Structure formats: structure tokens, C-alpha cells
Structure 1
Amino acid sequence: MGRLLQTAMAEAAGGACAAVLAESVLYAVDSAKVRAQALEIAGASNWKILFRGMVPTIALGSVPVFGSFFFCFAPMKVKLQDYDWEVLIPCASAICAVPATLVGVPADVLKKRLVLGIDANAGKAISHILSVQGWRGFFFGWHVNLIKDLPFAGVKIGFYEMFVSQWRAWHGLPKSEAMSPSGAAFCGVASGIACGILTCPLDVINTRIKADSSSRSILHVASSILQTEGVAAFFRGVAMRSFVLAVGSSIFWPIQHGVSSQLQA
């Protein structure tokens, strides 16, 4: 139990630290992706709007999301590897995405309102949400986040672990040997691109629902997009999304591995 707790805490710290840097570097690109996915954008457009809400979104979203995810995921991964059940790692990551996603919904709601120009700053966004919807407004569209993030986590971790396995086999490395920063970065890029393309439709639906508080049904939004804009609309912003996930993963994984390894040394 002590070993698992130490692993969980170290991996969580690594995930939180890596998230801060990766999200900070790519925040504006991800904001541009959100604006590309939205049907309507409020207010004037300028480069500054791409950075709206960066500090509260990362502090209240990325840090607790990735910290809680790895705190749950790390010990499960260890036990699955102990019993040679690595094939179940994607399922474990999807399960661990449930609490992590729910923790991050308020920050996701806040970011989309800010970068889409619905509110001018975080204070006004919070005030507006509380006055119109109450505290439940911060969890608006939580079901969409879950439906999006569960397969996202499974696909992303599944692809990453697959590429890691192939990388180890190609270089003749044992499972016990830590991944090099270059290896982790390469596997992160490959998994990020694959995940960005496969999960883009769910990301588009999530953006549309967050941008319009009257859109509550996932099926209704998906049907509306299909009928009025066609299949191509489900892949709006796919290039930027794939870029964010690819570059973000190339930054994230080496740092996550490095920090967690140092804390467990």
C-alpha cells in the first residue's frame, strides 16, 4: 500500500507540473480552436481574447484535473502491469477520467465563455453564471464532458502505451527502464495526433453546447450540426486540436515522467 501511495502522489505531482507548462504554452492555440468550432462568436476579435482566463483555467482546471487523474491512474496501472493485464490500461484510464473530468468542468465552462467573448473577464463570467443558473451553471454540460473525456482518455493513453511498447521493442529496452525524454516526446506526438483526429467530433459538440446554454441534448446538437453544416463540421478545428495534443503531449510526457521519477528516486 505504501508503494502504491508513493507512486500515486509522485505521478500526480508530475501530471500537475507537466500540465501547467504544456497548457500555458498552447493555451492560445486551443482558444483559437474553440473559436473555430463555435457557430457564433460574441464581441470583437483580437489576439488578446485568446489568452482570456488562462490563469484561472490552468489553476482551477488543468492542475487538479491532471493531478487527480494520475493519482487514480498510477496505482491501477501498476497493479495491471503486475498481473500482465496491460491490455486493460485504456479501460483504467477511462475510469480514472470520471473524477478528473468532473473536477475540470467549471474551468471548461469558464474558458469557453471567455474565449468566445460571452464574458469580458473571469469575474463577470462567474457573476453571470451565479445570477442566471446558480452554482449548477458551473457544471453545465458535464455529461458532454464525460462522454467526450472517457473515450478521449482511453484512446490517448491506449495509443501512448502502444507507441511506448513499440518504442521499447524497437530499441530493445526492458519494461523496467524509464522512457527517455526523446522517446516520451515522440510517443506523445504520435498519440496526440491520433487522439486529436478521432475525438474531434465530440469536442465540437462540447464547444457548441457550452457556447449556447439552450442546447442541452447531445443528440440534438449533433443532429443539428449534421443537417445544417454537414459531416465536415464535426472536424472543425481538427488541425489545431491535433497540433495542441501533439505538441502538448511532446511537452507533457517527458516532464511528467521526469518529475515523478525524481520524486520516487
Structure 2
Amino acid sequence: MAVQSSTSSEALASKNVSHGHFILWREFVWGAVAGAFGEGMMHPVDTIKTRLQSQAILNGLQNQKNILQMVRYVWQVDGLKGFFRGVIPGITGSLATGATYFGVIESTKKWTEDSHPSLRGHWAHFIAGAVGDTLGSFVYVPCEVMKQRMQVQGTITSRSPVVVKDGIAIKSGTQIYGYYTGMFHAGCSIWKTQGLKGLYAGYLSTLARDVPFAGLMVMFYEALKDVTEYVEQRGICSPNWHGNHSFEGLVLGGLAGGLSAYLTTPLDVVKTRLQVQGSTLRYTGWLDAIRIIWATEGMKGMFRGSIPRITWYIPASALTFMAVEFLRDHFNGKVPNDNLRDVRRLSVDKKSLQEVA
């Protein structure tokens, strides 16, 4: 009888692990779809942010445009297409990042809590988000380099020294590398002129920005969920708030993304400058970029583009978390598995296995 109980326990564990892996792969898919959705919707805002942050390299420190001036300039020179330059590599990178970010976040969090009990709670959330984003960086960074260079180039009409739009002469920015007709052409051109180093330009600075950003966003998101649960338990708000996971993901995801984006803006400025500068080096590295930006532009330079960055991340994060929660509720719930915990806590119920044994 003991043998039968042990066998049943092992079979149940195997079944749960199997379903867990199945749902885990679903998380990769949902994360990829959600990430691409958020990037595609908010790409025009990201284009403005990238152009604002790269002005010092392309046009010098004098007469830098503010947000409204930059929006007007892009519209006058390139039209609607200018706002969507680089959207294909942007979506491609977001597919990879979203997949790894949400695909490994639960398993990483569970492993961290089990193997290092002292790191339970917010630290586990931070580590899980950081690991998920780091794995996606191998695809994301080259896509980010191509995307940002295409964004600052604008459309082909921006290549002439002076662009005439509606009878008005508009001076275009300095061009520091050849024009890219698309994602494939951009990748091949960067590879030919700068090699692998060019495609991974600013890789360490990207990790220095994205690892803390990803970790903070998960940590803030989970903390905000804990706060809503506490408020619900105290009867301050309706239980329907927490029951609607899509709406919860929309609101809490937006708050978590916006706060994380603002705190990591200086890291984003450094990353953008390093990736946009091309082969004509202005900064020799991450620390050199921080030193020069601080010395020449001060705190304002370090937080340049913070408003469009926050404006991008609040709705992008909100849409991403909403999409993930929606897909989880409407598709993961169809997987028949009475013994598996909710997908938000992917693990085998050890207590139940002990009772079976």
C-alpha cells in the first residue's frame, strides 16, 4: 500500500510538472504577444524620446528642441511615417523580451524563494524580473540599436541638408551613418561597418538600465497587488476590483511601469547616446558618458526625455500587463488540471502530495 501511495504521489507530481511546463510555455507566448502589442501602440512616443535624448550627438548642445518642438519637427519633415520609423525591429525586440520576461518570471521567483528563503517577497520579485529581462537582451539589444538609429534618421526625405515642407525650409540633422531602408538592411550595414560590436553597442549600459528597470517594475507591480489585497480585506474597496485581473493589470502595470521608468531615466540617456553615436565616438564608455553628460548638461541632461519615457511606459506597461492577465484568464483557465495552482504561482503543491502519500 505504501508503494502504491508513493507511486500515486510520483504520478501526481509528474502530471502537475507536465501541466506546469505547458502553462509556462503559454506564458512565453502571452508575454511575447503582450510585449509586441505595447511596443507597437506606443512606438511614436518612443521615437520622440529617442530623438530628444540623441540631440546632443546629432546637433550639438545648442538650440535643443523640447517635446512639442520635436513633435512638430518630425511631423513637418517626415509626416506620420517618421513617428513609426524603426517599429519593426522595435516589435521584434519586444517579442523576445516579453516572452522571456513573463515566461521565466514565475519559475525564477519560485526557485529563488525555495533555494534562498531569505530572499522571499520583494527581493524574489526583483530577481525574477531582472533574470527574465537579461535573457531577452541577447535579441533585444541588436533590435534596439537598429530601431534607435532608424528613429533618429527619420524617412528618406530627412537625408538632404535642407528639407522643404509646404514651402518652408527646414534644416535636417547631421547624418553620421548610411541610411537604412529597413531592419534587414540596418542589421547588415551595422555588421559590415562595425561588426558584432556595433550590433551590441551599449550592451552593458542597456543591461544597467533594463535589469533594474525590469526588477523594479515586477517588484512595484507585486507590491501594488499586495496593497490592493490589503485594501480589499479591510473593506475599503469592492472585491470586484481584485477579481478583474485585466483591469488590475491595466492600472497597476501602468503605475509600476511609470515609476520604474522615471527612476531609470539617467541610465536610459546613457544607453541611447552610446547606441546612436555610431563609429564616430563621442563617449568611450558608460562612465565616460555619465561624466561628460553631467559636466556639460547637468541634471537636466541626465533626465532628458524623462517625460516621453514615462508617457511611453505608463500605457505600454499597462497594456502589456492587461494583455497578459487577459490571456491568462481566458486561455490558461481552459487547461484541465484540478491539482495545479494558479498560473501566477507555478509550483507543485507539496502539501497535497504528502497527504496522498
* Correspondence for 2:84: 51
Distance 1:187 1:96 in 2: 20
Q: How does 1:125-136 map to 2 (within 5 A)?
A: 125-136=186-197
- Deviation larger for 129-138 or 146-155: 129-138
CA, structure 1 residues 171+198, in 2 after alignment: closer, same or farther (shift >3 Å)? same
Q: 2:26 and 2:110 mapped to 1: Cα distance?
A: 13
Q: Following superposition of structure 1 onto structure 2, how do residues 237-252 of structure 1 map, counting pairs within 5 Å?
A: 237-252=305-320
Query: Structure 2 length normalisation: TM-score?
Result: 0.68
- 1:96 partner amino acid: G
Is the counterpart of residue 116 in structure 1 residue 152 in structure 2?
A: yes
Aligned with residue 223 of structure 1, among 263, 281, 291:
291
Which residue type is aligned with residue 151 of structure 1? Answer: P
Correspondent of 1:11 among 27, 49, 60: 27
Alignment partner of 1:116: what SS?
helix
CA displacement at 1:136 relative to structure 2: 3.5
Tell me the distance in 2 between the aligned counterparts of 1:178 and 1:55.
35
Alignment of 1:41-190 (within 5 A): 41=58, 45-47=77-79, 48-58=81-91, 60-79=92-111, 85-87=120-122, 88-117=124-153, 118=177, 119-122=179-182, 123-172=184-233, 180-190=245-255
SS at match of 1:140: coil
Q: Which moved more, 1:73-82 or 1:198-207?
A: 73-82
What runs of 5+ residues in structure 2 fail to find an aligned partner? 1-16, 60-72, 154-176, 334-357
Q: Which residue of 1 aligns with 2:13?
A: none
Q: TM-score, normalised by structure 1?
A: 0.90
Once the two structures are overlaid, the 10-residue window that deviates more, 133-142 or 151-160, is: 133-142
Q: Flag the 1:104–1:204 CA change in 2: closer, same or farther, 3 A.
A: same
Q: Is the 8 A contact 1:11 1:71 kept in 2?
A: yes
- The answer as to whether partners of 1:5 and 1:75 remain within 8 angstroms in 2 is no
1:27 pairs with 2:43: yes
Shift of 1:124: 3.8
Q: Secondary structure at the match of 1:166?
A: helix
| 1:60-82 deviation digits (Å, cap 9, x = unpaired) | 21111110222221222345678
Which residue identity is paired with 1:138?
L
Larger radius of gyration: 2
The answer to whether the 8 A contact 1:35-1:41 is kept is no
Aligned to 1:205: 270
Conserved? CA contact 1:204–1:236, under 8 Å: yes
Alpha-carbon RMSD across the aligned residues, in angstroms, is 2.4
**Conserved? CA contact 2:109–2:127, under 8 Å:** no
How much has 1:131 moved relative to structure 2? 1.7
The aligned counterpart of 1:196 is 261
Q: 1:196 to 1:106 in 2, by over 3 A?
A: same
Whose helix fraction is larger, Structure 1's or Structure 2's? 1
Q: Which is bigger in relative contact order (C-alpha 8 A, separation at least 6)?
A: 1
CA shift for structure 1 position 130: 1.9
**How many angstroms apart in 2 are the aligned matches of 1:185 and 1:171?**
18
Stretches of structure 1 that go unaligned for 5 or more consecutive residues are none
* CA distance in 1: counterparts of 2:267 and 2:180, whole angstroms: 27
From the superposition, tell whether residues 6 and 179 of structure 1 become closer, same or farther in structure 2 (CA, over 3 Å): farther
Contact 1:185–1:253 (8 Å) recurs in 2: yes
Instruction: Compare 129-138 and 237-246 and name the one that shifted more.
Output: 129-138
**Matches of 2:26 and 2:185 in 1, distance apart?**
36
